[in-house]
Structure 1
């Protein structure tokens, strides 16, 4: 059998191991710290997706403005521009939601620190 790591264990196995070893008295702030790290990574990924969507949206807008054709090509570029505009707005909302979750977790951590004082 190969050497196991924590990543190899299932969620239930990890919880059983934590309880078995007396680690069940983990402080709330420790759990919030782990959650905050996860939410920060999620927020950074959402920011990156938003940035990429805005860049694609700007490029589509430039292509639309520089299009000399008033026919099918302009209509195609118009649809692409509107789709990318919607995608950028959706990415912005996802970014804002991730930021709110991260900030709420930070506020909970600060509240726990204040309680500990």
Structure 2
């Protein structure tokens, strides 16, 4: 019989520090990874995660909920969208992103996040 699993982001299974301006806390439940990204003011994927990922753009598919703050997403085709507290968002691979304003953006991500900002 399957068991109920409960974990708390205050005690994550793993914390992945960005190259400055934030981190991703990870928990694994039922074999799936859930991430909580804390993106500080001034954070941009191309500056703070690209050196870790080693790709030109973020190639992770995200499915998330924005808890606080705001972020702008830049797709490789030139389209842009803003995400703010209370928004649910699906972001396909092939993007960059940046925090807007002076408040940290916190996003809980249920997407294909297991390898996000993972150092090899």
**Higher Rg of the two aligned structures:** 1
TM-score (norm 2): 0.18
Structure with the higher fraction of residues in strand conformation: 2
Structure with the higher fraction of residues in helix conformation: 1
